[in-house]
């Protein structure tokens, strides 16, 4: 079963109990009532699993905490929402029942919580015999209505809030370090010793900065690039029933990143959005919206190949 099939099974089981604000479970976050004045409240939830969504063989625990919250803040940003706060729950295995390790994980989330003014509202803990599982639910407020994936119109320009591919390039550097074997050098000292482009890529992986929702002021549609531009742009194209032409991806490549990293890497947490040509936009213009379907680059279709949690799981299982 693929992720999309599981979502369909869940939608079927809940039927009319899927809230209208849940947008058919297809957007980055949901709108929860009530709308107060011109402000809507949105909510998003993400779960990350050690060994599947993060790898503590590659970086210290604090980055796992940071990245777990970054995913959620990014989903809020994708709806145009500024964080109000978050709750988290941890399923903790025995090796993690150690004060400094838990503290490090929490401090990582606190770094981003402080940067984005997203306080902690609570949490829950349970034990597990399996890998560490961190589940975060974040709330945000948006002026006006949340920005959805549907809404791009032919004629709009296609934008990114920041460079992409850095997280995948950084992962490559991290894996090279791991292959070289255990090192007595502290992670941060190693990071400082790297050439600028590589250090920037590693930072993009371990401390990605979610896009600023303010850039979406004129956006017609938006989402965050979490699974790679190829799969995410195809999702936006499908939701908006348009064709996206990638024209200038080069200008949006992160240091050390290749086109492949940008298209299929994921975890960059930049915002991908569309806006009318007349809009003043603070971002990187990478293409345009035309009639049709799918994502195209230089006359060739960019297929929606990317990350599926359960493809990976089946790989782990077999």
Of 127 and 145, nearer to a second copy (C-beta) is 127
Alpha carbons 88 and 125: distance in angstroms, whole number: 9
Residue 135 near residue 45, CB atoms below 8 Å: yes
Of 123 and 276, nearer to a second copy (C-beta) is 123
Of 128 and 251, nearer to a second copy (C-beta) is 128
For the bound state, the minimum distance from the C-beta of residue 263 to a second copy, rounded and expressed in Å, comes to: 22
Spatial CB neighbours of 283, under 8 Å, sequence gap ≥ 6: 159, 160, 161, 162, 215, 271, 273
For the bound state, the minimum distance from the C-beta of residue 318 to a second copy, rounded and expressed in Å, comes to: 9
For the bound state, the minimum distance from the C-beta of residue 123 to a second copy, rounded and expressed in Å, comes to: 6
Q: What is the largest CA-CA distance in the chain?
A: 57
Q: Cα–chain-centroid distance for residue 124?
A: 23
For the bound state, the minimum distance from the C-beta of residue 65 to a second copy, rounded and expressed in Å, comes to: 9
For the bound state, the minimum distance from the C-beta of residue 5 to a second copy, rounded and expressed in Å, comes to: 8
From first CA to last CA, the distance across the chain in angstroms is: 15
Residue 251 near residue 149, CB atoms below 8 Å: no
Of 141 and 245, nearer to a second copy (C-beta) is 141
Of 89 and 178, nearer to a second copy (C-beta) is 89
State the burial class of residue 30 (Cβ atoms within 10 Å of its Cβ: 0-12, 13-18, 19+).
Answer: buried
């Amino acid at each position: 079963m693929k992720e999309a099939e599981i979502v369909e099974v869940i939608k079927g089981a809940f039927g009319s109990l899927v809230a209208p604000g849940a947008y058919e479970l297809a957007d980055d976050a949901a709108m929860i009532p009530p709308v107060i004045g011109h402000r809507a409240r949105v909510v998003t939830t993400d779960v990350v699993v050690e060994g599947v969504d993060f790898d503590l063989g590659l970086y210290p625990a604090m980055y796992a905490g940071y990245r777990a919250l970054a995913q959620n803040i990014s989903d809020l940003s994708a709806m145009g929402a500024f964080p109000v706060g978050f709750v988290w729950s941890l399923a903790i295995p025995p090796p993690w029942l150690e004060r400094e390790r838990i503290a490090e994980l929490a401090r990582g989330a606190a770094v981003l919580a402080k940067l984005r003014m997203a306080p902690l509202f609570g949490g829950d803990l349970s034990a597990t015999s399996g890998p560490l599982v961190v589940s975060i639910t974040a709330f945000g407020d948006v002026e006006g209505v949340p920005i959805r994936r549907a809404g791009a119109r032919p004629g709009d320009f296609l934008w990114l809030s920041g460079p992409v591919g850095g997280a995948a390039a950084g992962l490559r550097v991290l894996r090279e370090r791991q292959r070289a074997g255990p090192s007595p050098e502290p992670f941060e000292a190693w990071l400082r010793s790297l050439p600028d482009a590589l250090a920037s890529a590693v930072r993009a992986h371990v401390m990605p900065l979610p896009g600023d929702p303010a850039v979406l002021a004129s956006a017609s549609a938006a989402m965050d690039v979490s699974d790679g531009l190829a799969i995410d742009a195809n999702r936006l194209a499908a939701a908006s029933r348009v064709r996206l032409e990638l024209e200038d991806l080069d200008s949006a490549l992160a240091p050390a990143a290749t086109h492949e990293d940008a298209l299929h890497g994921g975890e960059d947490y930049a915002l991908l959005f569309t806006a009318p040509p007349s809009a003043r936009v603070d971002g990187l213009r990478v293409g345009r919206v035309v009639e049709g379907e799918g994502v195209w680059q230089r006359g060739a279709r960019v297929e929606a190949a990317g990350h599926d949690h359960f493809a990976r799981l089946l790989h782990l299982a077999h």
